[in-house]
Amino acid sequence: MTQNLLSHKQVTNLIKAVGATRTVLIEGEAGSGKTAIAHEFKNDPFFANHVIVEPIDCTQLSDGSVWMPDIDREEGVSRELPNERFGVHRENQKGVDGSVPIVVCLDEIAKARQFIKDVLAPIVYERRIGQYHMPVGSVVFGCTNLSTEGLGDSMQGHLRNRLVIVKMRKPTKDEWVRDFAIPRKLSPELIAAVEMFPQVFDSFMDYQSGGKYEGKPQHKHNHWIANPADANQEQVVTPRSLHAASDIITLAKRAGDVDDETLQCALGGTLGYGFAAEMTSFIRFGRDIPSFERVVADPAGCPLASSPVAKIVQVFQFLTQASTYEHAEAVTEYIKRMPGEMQSLFINSVANSTAIGLFATNKIFGKMLAENRKFFN
């Protein structure tokens, strides 16, 4: 029976629900955002009273990097003292007043050497590191790639039987824009490119037997995404590489002396050269748009971008930069001067983003929504 693939949000909710008692192992495609869950927990109110340690790359662990023996000569015994990276110590362990629960992400655990897996087993099954038990409420979860990707991920049967193993799918384009790109204020040029090319969020499994493109010869290949069957593949588009590309675009723009050729090479070395070529055109068109500050200052008189691509970039510029009700009112007034298709994109993007709260009570936005209902039939 085929196992269902869970969304990023579903996996996150599962870890919150059972992670203090059972260890969830997340299997998913490379770069799909598995480890990002640990970083997101740092800002999650659910874990406000936890210590979130940095994700632990299990492939880098060696003998002694989990716990070390310590000899107590007075007592004539030895003890196993945990490495400080796990957040457990004499003052922060089970049974100590004031101890704080810990959240530990064991990244790439299925790639770890077998003796490391054996050393990590008490953390996974007992919430214990060496001699110390983790504080009550501590959460442990693991991340690994799909075994079908051929990246060396394997777990013995008796180990797997002690885990709650779920497969996490890549986010859809809409999920990535709503839950990741806009909240993190990624480059509007990048978001616009993804909006135009949503196939960057396809999975290699979509192109296999039983996948969504089976029987559709026009969809035989997608060279922009990771394909385990292609041993010569270089850089590809993943949520992780998109975040890196956004940093490159933003920093290059800020520096001001990175030419287009250099920028395209940098993006090609991050996303792959096929998608980077498309991406560069969005950056060039994005230079045609007025600044956010200029739009807010004069939404009725500020000139409109000339090309459709620039207008798409501008929609996401507004969604990543608007932070007040005054901003929302100004950009909505500006958008109302654009063609209906752009207004429709704007309405859909607002409705599918965390910015909806800014616009929901905006009378201009409500009027625009009523006037563009024909685009939603």
Residues paired with residue 79 on neighbouring β-strands, in sequence order: 70
C-beta neighbour count of 241 within 10 angstroms: 20
CA distance 189 to 314: 8
Q: What's the confidence (pLDDT) of residue 78?
A: 65
Domains and CATH numbers, the chain: 5-168 (3.40.50.300), 173-376 (no CATH)
C-beta neighbour count of 47 within 10 angstroms: 18
DSSP string, 295-328: HHH-TTTSPPPSSHHHHHHHHHHHHHH--SHHHH
3-class SS at 221?
coil
Report if pTM > 0.75.
Answer: yes
3-state per-residue secondary structure call for 149-218: HCCCCCCCHHHHCCCEEEEECCCCHHHHHHHHHCCCCCCHHHHHHHHHCHHHHCCHHHHCCCCCCCCCHH
pLDDT by residue for the chain (377 residues), tens digit each?
A: 456 889 999 999 999 999 999 999 999 988 888 999 999 999 999 999 999 999 999 999 887 788 777 776 777 666 777 888 888 888 888 888 889 999 999 999 988 888 888 888 889 999 998 888 899 999 999 999 887 666 656 777 677 788 999 999 999 999 999 989 998 999 999 999 999 999 999 888 777 766 776 666 656 678 888 887 777 788 999 999 999 999 999 999 999 899 999 999 999 999 999 999 999 999 999 988 999 999 999 999 999 988 999 999 999 999 999 999 999 999 999 999 998 889 888 988 888 887 888 888 888 888 888 877 765 54
Q: What's the confidence (pLDDT) of residue 153?
A: 63
Residue 322 structure tokens:
């608007």
3-class SS at 246?
helix
Residues contacting residue 165 through CB under 8 Å, at least 6 positions apart: 24, 25, 27
CA distance 237 to 226: 7
Given the structure tokens 């956004």, which residue do they identify? 246
C-beta neighbour count of 48 within 10 angstroms: 7
User: Maximum distance among all alpha carbons in the chain?
Assistant: 83
Strand pairing class (128-129; 102-107) = unpaired
Tell me if 181 sits within 8 A of 191, measured CB to CB.
yes
Q: What's the confidence (pLDDT) of residue 214?
A: 63
Q: What's the confidence (pLDDT) of residue 219?
A: 62
Tell me if 124 sits within 8 A of 118, measured CB to CB.
no
